[in-house]
């Protein structure tokens, strides 16, 4: 009988999580599809293109919302077994509130790790494909900044043509081993600049140890000039470049674990790398806590009650949780508290609260 009840809890809880994940996926699909159609409205593409792009980017968004989905799923499952008297039946066979909570909370916790190691790499690759495919359709890209295995690449549109900048790495306020290609409006090379390092603290870049190869004609003959310093104006500075890489959707948890030092050497901002790594590490614990909050609300009584009331309370609770989490991260980013502490503090605080709450529902 214990095995039957355990299978019943696991099967129905996971089914509920899957159901709500699908609901959120469909909502995201509909809402994002309008944005993609707006982007492609002047391009000669079929409806399948924005639909396909939307379908590959939404899973990443669903994972971001998974703590909220787990909370709703847990509430839905608990209220359902309470209203149909299954909760009372389980108690008759020796399943306490604490035991039922432990099963679904540990399931959420394990689900978090499964997602980090097996699902997150897939969704990260899907987001990366989404950005590559969409960029191919973008006609008027004023700029492009990307990191890859060869270092940093920057593209800028100028009045006279385009500028392409490559650097082996980005250190604090400085680009190292830089090559700048300046193209005219016919996409022919008009100037090439080599520099050992460039100070990019402001938009007025200062180049050091410079070699300039330039041609005023299209005869393929370039003249070489050496300078100690040289200045160019760019729409980018160090702060703007690093800000562009706050979004780590294209970087999986496994990438962060394996390539952390390599990413730092390539120029990724250490603060944002550390924040993203600890945010992902805290993900399973966050799912556990959200399940605990749902259990406290759902198991407070055995009586059949109004579901709408509980879900309104649950919605307000989840909004407050996410607000506290974002506030803590903001404090960490502004150096009011440690960045690592800003990620873990809400989870630790909520864990202490839920520990007391779980003990109370176990007595009912």
H-helix or E-strand containing 120? helix 120-137
Residue-level pLDDT at 6: 92
Place of tokens 């690759």: 125
Residue-level pLDDT at 267: 62
Contact 111, 10 (CB under 8 A): no
Residue-level pLDDT at 112: 96
Residue-level pLDDT at 89: 85
Residue-level pLDDT at 290: 93
Q: What is the rounded CA–CA span in Å between residue 321 and residue 35?
A: 29
Residue-level pLDDT at 157: 80
Can you list the pairs that 340-344 forms with residues at least 24 positions away whose Cβ atoms lie under 8 Å?
A: 340/274, 340/278, 342/275, 343/275, 343/278, 343/279, 343/282, 344/278, 344/282
Residue-level pLDDT at 248: 67
Residues in the chain where the model's pLDDT stays below 70: 1, 135-136, 138-144, 147-150, 216-220, 243-248, 265-269, 301-307, 362-364
Residue-level pLDDT at 37: 87
Query: Residue 313: which of 297, 301, 331, 290 has the closest Cα?
Result: 297
Residue-level pLDDT at 238: 84
- Domain boundaries, given as residue ranges, for the chain: 2-138+249-362, 143-234
pLDDT per residue over 276-300, tens digit each? Answer: 889 999 999 999 999 999 988 888 7
């Amino acid at each position: 009988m214990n095995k039957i009840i355990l299978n019943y809890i696991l099967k129905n809880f996971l089914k509920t999580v899957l159901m709500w994940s699908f609901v959120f996926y469909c909502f995201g699909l509909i809402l994002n599809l309008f944005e993609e159609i707006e982007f492609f409205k002047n391009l000669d593409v079929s409806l399948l293109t924005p639909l396909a792009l939307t379908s590959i980017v939404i899973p990443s968004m669903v994972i971001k919302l998974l703590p909220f989905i787990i909370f709703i799923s847990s509430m839905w499952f608990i209220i359902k077994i309470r209203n149909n008297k299954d909760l009372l039946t389980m108690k008759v066979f020796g399943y306490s509130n604490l035991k039922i909570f432990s099963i679904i909370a540990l399931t959420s916790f394990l689900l978090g790790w499964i997602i980090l190691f097996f699902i997150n790499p897939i969704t990260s690759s899907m987001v990366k494909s989404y950005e590559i495919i969409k960029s191919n359709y973008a006609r008027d890209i004023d700029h492009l900044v990307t990191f890859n295995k060869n270092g940093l690449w920057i593209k800028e549109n100028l009045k006279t043509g385009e500028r392409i900048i490559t650097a082996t790495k980005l250190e604090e306020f400085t680009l190292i081993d830089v090559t700048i290609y300046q193209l005219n409006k016919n996409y022919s090379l008009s100037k090439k600049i080599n520099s050992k390092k460039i100070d990019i603290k402001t938009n007025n870049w200062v180049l050091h140890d410079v070699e300039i190869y330039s041609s005023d004609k299209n005869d393929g003959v370039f003249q070489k000039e050496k300078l100690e310093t040289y200045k160019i104006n760019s729409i980018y500075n160090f702060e703007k470049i690093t800000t562009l890489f706050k979004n780590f959707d294209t970087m999986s948890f496994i990438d962060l674990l394996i390539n952390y030092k390599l990413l730092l050497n390539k120029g990724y901002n250490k603060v944002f790398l550390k924040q993203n790594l600890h945010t992902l590490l805290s993900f399973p614990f966050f799912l556990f806590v959200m399940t605990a909050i749902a259990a406290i609300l759902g198991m407070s009584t055995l009586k059949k009650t109004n579901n709408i009331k509980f879900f309104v309370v649950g919605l307000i609770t989840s909004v407050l949780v996410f607000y506290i989490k974002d506030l803590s991260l903001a404090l960490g980013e502004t150096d009011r508290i440690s960045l690592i502490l800003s990620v873990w503090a809400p989870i630790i605080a909520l864990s202490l609260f839920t520990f007391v709450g779980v003990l109370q529902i176990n007595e009912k």
